[in-house]
Structure 1
Amino acid sequence: MSNQQGDSRIQSILIPLFSVLLGLLIGAIVMWSFGYDAVAGYSAMLKGAFGSPFYIGELLREATPLILVALGFAVANTAGFFNIGVAGQTLFGWLASISMAQFFPDLPKFVLLPLCILAGVVAGALWAGIAGVLRAYFNTSEVIVTIMLNHTALYINNHIVRNVLTDSGDATARITENASLRIPFLSELTRNSTLHAGIFIALFMIFVVWILMKKTTYGFEFRSVGLNPDAADYAGMNAKKNIILAMLISGGLAGLGGAMEGLGNFQNMFVQGAMPAVGFDGMAVALLGSGSPLGILFASLLFSTLKIGGTSMPLMSGVPVEIVDIVIASIIFFVGASYIIRLLLTKISKMNKKEAV
């Protein structure tokens, strides 16, 4: 039994690693196929991500909301739900945090900033809670419900921006300093990057979610409900309560990620043409990180390296930035097709054992 657990843990590390390597290999093949230098392209990417304090600051800023959204998706996934609505919950968290900042711009920073962050968390949690209640009491598909809620969130956001927060405008005014997550020290340290205090919040939440999922009764019940809700009910666990609670926590974390975008990165709210990419990227980060808080940290840094470093590829090497999207899509594909990698690893392990005998 212990050997099986050991093999499972090794595979949980090797599968994402192989997925990343295969994704990078496909990106290289595409570059070579179209006459680009893959080595120069990836070198430019690394320089664009780590070549200066400014780029490192931008990389960490990009990773901040990804970590929080991925943690939110992972909590719901552990409880057995595919919360594809994290994008809409992120958007609502962003909208709520900026709305709070716009309505009370003169409050002291030690009051206004926590209120804005809390507004984002609550908005995301309540929006996810709709799907949680419907799943718990009516057994509706959370996938379908959250997809529809994503579109609803998009149009509600655009209406509020145009008709409540502005007079028929497409973007709100910038928030005041009292609501901002920007810290002069971090900007100076990273040569005027947009890195903000949200990175500390994201790192803290990694620890909080790890404690929640591994060391508390709630985490155990979430896993039990995810494995078999009927058995969990029979064992005395309240499956309905845990379904709703898992979705509330999931949405709250996604809303917190949206607040990071509003209060730290963009500093305002604007009409959206589509759902924020950070919502869907956060789902991919969670899948690549195997739902583990530590895995999510490394996966978010990888995605941020691809995103931030990829912007330098056209200038430094002539490789189009769309290659980054191909690499990310390939990584997600191999994570989704992990059965193939797991099968290969199992066969290799059996062959090694036979040779040892």
Structure 2
Amino acid sequence: MTEHTLSEAEYDAITDAAAHWCMRLHANDCTGQERLAFEQWRDAHPLHAFEYEAMLEIWEVAGDLPSPAPVVPIVRPKPKTPWRTFGMAAAVCALALPLAAYSGWHLGWVPNSYQHFEASGNVRHVTLNDGTEVELNLGSELTYSNYKDHRQVTLKKGEAFFSVSHDTRHPFVVKAAEGRIRVTGTQFNVWMYEDKVKVNLIEGSVLVTSNDDLPGDGLRLGPSMQANYGPGDFIPRISQTYDNDTSLAWRQGKLVLDDMALSDALPLINRYLDQPLVVADHNTGSIRIGGIYNIKDINGLVKSLPRVLPVYLTRNQSGNLVVNSIPQKPSKS
């Protein structure tokens, strides 16, 4: 049985339907019957769900647009036939949307290019539309939007290494958690764990701010410097990196734990786990761990902990694995 190949017209019809459902489901007057009809449409073909998710991402970008000025409602006679209302609305949208997109681009509100990337089972190398090269760590996700006055990446989760295409007139901005990193052309790494962000600069310079709502461009990093910030930080915390820094070993598929406390190692381990590993108490967290591990087999690392450390594993009520230290027997006097 041969698989049916969609024609361009059929594909365009699915895209149009996805746009229609995206607008209707975000409308205040969307009915339960419409939502049921949408679910039936979405489940009818895998491409329906794919196109709708893509439309949601574009809708999310559009959420940053300025709110339109309030419109005074005009009372008009009720149309005689519903199809005429729908036809007129469709005609208006067909004319207004291209104009809005054109105006939005020139005002710097709407991107003319949008990309979405995820890395699941492997470290992934991608090229953005501006020529920037990006490596994505496992479990990472980002979007790229090209605006008239800047290029913008939103790191939704995980970690990414950027080799930014140089363009002084078109700055490159990475949004991560509450802050941002602004550059024109350089190499740097951004890691977001929960609501904390770490930026490592390899080459060039970047400006880092801990909160996108704060005035100014933030603090400048030079090569071999890093910045850390989290919720409520007024400014990032700046520090130096060293030649033996192993934080970028993930690019070679490795996790390097260099004789560090278990509590400090957990964030590095947990970024590769579906459910985070936790330590039972401070004494357990102070146990040292070292070694080089394959980032594709961090579950194997977790299972091996009782064999290499004086610990045992249990589960808490949330289903997380808990590392417990083995009580030391008192020494005989």
The answer, yes or no, to whether TM exceeds 0.5 is: no
Please identify the structure whose Cα radius of gyration is greater: 2
TM-score by length of 1: 0.18
Higher fraction of helix = 1
TM-score by length of 2: 0.19
